[in-house]
Structure 1
Amino acid sequence: MVLSIIIGPMYSGKSTYLLDKINISNENNENIFIINHNIDIRYNKDKITNHNNISTDCISFSKLKEIYDYNRNKPLFFETLDHIYIDECQFFTDLEEVVSNLLNTYSNLKITCVGLDGDYQQNVFNNGQLLKLISKAENVIKLASKCYVCKNKAYFTKRITNDKKQIVVGSNNIYVPSCYIHK
Structure 2
Amino acid sequence: MHAAALTSPARLWSAGEVLARPGPVPAAPGVYGWHFTKAPSPSLPAEQLLYVGITPRHMANRTSTQNLRTRVRYHFRGNAEGSTLRLTLGCLLGFELRRVGSGKRMTFGKDGEADLTRWMAEHARVCWVEHREPWTVESDLITRLDLPLNLDQNRHNNFHARLTEIRAQARQRAGEPGSLA
Question: TM-score normalised by the shorter chain: which range applies?
Answer: under 0.3
**What is the TM-score when the length of structure 1 is the normalising length?**
0.23
TM-score w.r.t. the length of structure 2 is 0.23
Greater helix fraction, Structure 1 or Structure 2:
2
